Amino acid sequence: MTDIQTIHETLKQVMDPELNRSIVDLGMVHDVRFENGVVSFTLALTTLACPLSQRMQDDARARLLALDGVRDVVINVREMTAEEKEKIFGKGKKEAGSAAAVNHIHHAVAVMSGKGGVGKSTVAALLAVMLRRRGFRVGLLDADITGPSIPKMLLKEQKRPLGSPLGIMPVETESGIKVMSINLLLEDPNQAVIWRGPLISGAIKQFYGDVVWGELDYLVVDLPPGTSDAPLTVMQSMPLNGIVLVTTPQSLAGMIVRKASSMAEHLNIPILGVIENMSYVQCPKCGEIIEIFGPSNAAEVAASLAAPVLGRMPINPEIAKLGDNGRIEEYPAKEFESVVERLLSVMPETASSPVAPS
Ligand SMILES: Nc1ncnc2c1ncn2[C@@H]1O[C@H](COP(=O)(O)OP(=O)(O)OP(=O)(O)O)[C@@H](O)[C@H]1O
Ligand SMILES: [Mg+2]
């Protein structure tokens, strides 16, 4: 028979979709009662205008009604008091009721390369897709402010991020990856962003601190090519668990890769491994593997960085086609499964401490 403890446990499973955290853990549930088959409780919201209130109520109601002996559910909704908001969100220096106070990002990984066009954004998108397929809560931050390409790969149509009292809400892809990119904020996605370094850095910091990511198992950060202001900002202002380097066989210019890696080393961020993209082509008829850019040099590059090879990705026109149409989530990515497996096995639990920007 259902008791009050079961009811508490059931309510604990209801998530605030905005924050990805249990409504009980967020201190939103009060005065829980169970009398004559009727469960009643108060749901305290950060704002009564919360667009997700109905969703949380419906979820709670459905779960409670499924319990043995529960015939009705009464939910009283009210706004949190200032003290309640302070108690939940106002930890330490974080401003009460701000995105930074509610965000809880367990791991953050940046995808980097020495040179452009090697497939960083594709790799970043596929990493996010594969982690999501494994059931993790995943965010994808497009730190390429002047050449953003993440929305085009993951969204079939332009979506606008909504504002909330806590900050900017990321948009969600079909499979539930939370995405933030400058392209989502532009009136016209084809508009060029012609900004100098400090503005770019400011935007990246806002994407991290002012976006309501909520609770994430993994935040994947797509970096622009090279070692400019943007990668520097990411490495200096976000706690990162590590960096994934993307190379191609023809970018044998090991020097370029080493520049990227020496930047990471300088900032004390571990290189988790190397992914060689466009490594080979597989003949669709006979299955033969053709290394059109010459033999792989992934092992050599990785050894020079004392990092493992996480995997090699073939050139596959399907990737380009799906990526061009916001449908990269449909790519089966079988060859990427072992890459994610290896990445997870080398991921440190603790993140680097960001150093103060100079
Ligand atoms: N393995 C692959 N097979 C086929 N096409 C690919 C593959 N990887 C990437 N591409 C295509 O190559 C192009 C460049 O890829 P992508 O945008 O991911 O590179 P990038 O390194 O992020 O570029 P930039 O330096 O401009 O940010 C895209 O059109 C993408 O669809
Ligand atoms: Mg890119």
Mean of pLDDT values over 291-296: 87
Say if residue 209 is in the same domain as residue 78. no
pLDDT digits (tens, 9 = 90+) for 294-329: 888 888 888 888 899 999 999 999 999 999 999 999
pLDDT band at 68 (very low <50, low <70, confident <90, very high): very high
Q: Which helix (H) or strand (E) holds 128?
A: helix 120-133
Say if residue 85 is in the same domain as residue 103. no
* Domain annotation covers residue 321: yes
Ligand 1 pocket, 236 CB below 6 A?
Answer: no
* Domain annotation covers residue 269: yes
Map residue 163 onto helix, strand or coil: strand
Q: Which atom of ligand 1 is nearest to the CA of 113?
A: 21
Say if residue 18 is in the same domain as residue 156. no
Pocket test for ligand 1, best of 111, 115, 121 (most atoms within 8 A of CB): 121
Please compute, for residue 217, the number of CA atoms within 13 A of its CA located in the half-sphere on the CB side: 15
Mean of pLDDT values over 271-281: 94
Say if residue 202 is in the same domain as residue 126. yes
Structure confidence at residue 207 (pLDDT)? 92
Who surrounds ion ligand 2 at CB < 5 A? 120-121, 149
Range(s) of the domain holding residue 332: 99-346
Structure confidence at residue 90 (pLDDT)? 56
Ligand 1 pocket, 234 CB below 6 A?
Answer: no
**Of the ligands numbered here, which is closest to the C-alpha atom of 251?**
1
C-alpha 103 to ligand 2 mean position (Å): 25
pLDDT band at 44 (very low <50, low <70, confident <90, very high): very high
pLDDT band at 106 (very low <50, low <70, confident <90, very high): very high
* Domain annotation covers residue 133: yes
Ligand 1 pocket, 279 CB below 6 A?
Answer: no
Indicate the pairing of strand 138-142 with strand 178-180: parallel
Q: For a pLDDT cut of 70, what percent of the chain falls above it?
A: 94
* Domain annotation covers residue 355: no
Q: Which atom of ligand 1 is nearest to the CA of 125?
A: 18
- Residue 229 CB contacts under 8 Å (≥ 6 apart), including other chains: 197, 198, 200, 201
Is the whole model's pTM more than 0.85, yes or no? no
Ligand 1 pocket, 281 CB below 6 A?
Answer: no
Ligand 1 pocket, 118 CB below 6 A?
Answer: yes
C-alpha 265 to ligand 2 mean position (Å): 22
Ligand 1 pocket, 62 CB below 6 A?
Answer: no
Please compute, for residue 190, the number of CA atoms within 13 A of its CA located in the half-sphere on the CB side: 0
C-alpha 102 to ligand 2 mean position (Å): 29
Residue indicated by tokens 């090279």: 226
DSSP string, 66-81: TSTT--EEEEEEEEPP
**What spatial distance separates the first Cα and last Cα of the chain, rounded to whole Å?**
62
Where is average pLDDT lowest: 95-104, 108-117, 330-339?
95-104
pLDDT digits (tens, 9 = 90+) for 120-167: 999 999 999 999 999 999 999 999 998 999 999 999 998 889 887 788
C-alpha 313 to ligand 1 mean position (Å): 11
Cα(331)–Cα(306) distance, integer angstroms: 31
Q: Which range in 77-91, 185-199, 278-292, 317-331 is most confidently predicted, on average pLDDT?
A: 317-331
Structure confidence at residue 21 (pLDDT)? 82
Residue 65 has pLDDT above 80, yes or no: yes
User: Do residues 104 and 37 lie in contact, with contact meaning Cβ atoms separated by under 8 Å?
Assistant: no
Q: What is the dihedral of CA 36, 38, 39, 42, to 10 degrees?
A: -110
Structure tokens given for 201 = 């850095």
C-alpha 93 to ligand 1 mean position (Å): 40
Q: Which atom of ligand 1 is nearest to the CA of 324?
A: 31
Structure confidence at residue 293 (pLDDT)? 84
Pick from 89, 111, 133: which residue ends a domain?
89
Q: Which atom of ligand 1 is nearest to the CA of 153?
A: 31
Residue 252 has pLDDT above 70, yes or no: no
Q: Which atom of ligand 1 is nearest to the CA of 315?
A: 3
Residue 57 is given by DSSP the state H
Residue indicated by tokens 């008091």: 81
Structure confidence at residue 92 (pLDDT)? 45
Ligand 1 pocket, 152 CB below 6 A?
Answer: no
Ligand 1 pocket, 176 CB below 6 A?
Answer: no
Cα(311)–Cα(334) distance, integer angstroms: 12
Pocket test for ligand 1, best of 122, 144, 234, 291 (most atoms within 8 A of CB): 122
User: Do residues 229 and 353 lie in contact, with contact meaning Cβ atoms separated by under 8 Å?
Assistant: no
User: Do residues 225 and 231 lie in contact, with contact meaning Cβ atoms separated by under 8 Å?
Assistant: no
Structure confidence at residue 356 (pLDDT)? 46
Structure confidence at residue 230 (pLDDT)? 87
Structure confidence at residue 115 (pLDDT)? 82
Pick from 46, 70, 89: which residue ends a domain?
89
Ligand 1 pocket, 122 CB below 6 A?
Answer: yes
Say if residue 178 is in the same domain as residue 75. no
- Output b/e per residue, 252-262; b: 16+ Cβ within 10 A: eebebbbebbe
Pick from 44, 65, 89: which residue ends a domain?
89
In whole numbers, what is the pLDDT of the chain averaged over residues? Answer: 88
Say if residue 45 is in the same domain as residue 148. no
DSSP string, 59-117: HHHHHHHTSTT--EEEEEEEEPPHHHHHHHH--TTSPTTSHHHH-EEEEEEEEE-SSTT
Structure confidence at residue 97 (pLDDT)? 58
Q: Which atom of ligand 1 is nearest to the CA of 123?
A: 18
For the packed helices 197-209 and 229-237, what is the interaxial angle rounded to 10 degrees? 40
Structure tokens given for 257 = 């890769």
Q: For a pLDDT cut of 90, what percent of the chain falls above it?
A: 56
Residue indicated by tokens 């596929």: 126
Beta strands in the chain (DSSP E): 15-16, 21-22, 29-35, 38-45, 72-79, 104-112, 138-142, 163-164, 167-168, 171-172, 178-180, 215-222, 242-247, 271-276, 281-282, 289-290, 309-312
Say if residue 77 is in the same domain as residue 133. no
* Domain annotation covers residue 295: yes
Sign of CA pseudo-dihedral 121, 122, 124, 125: positive
Please compute, for residue 195, the number of CA atoms within 13 A of its CA located in the half-sphere on the CB side: 17
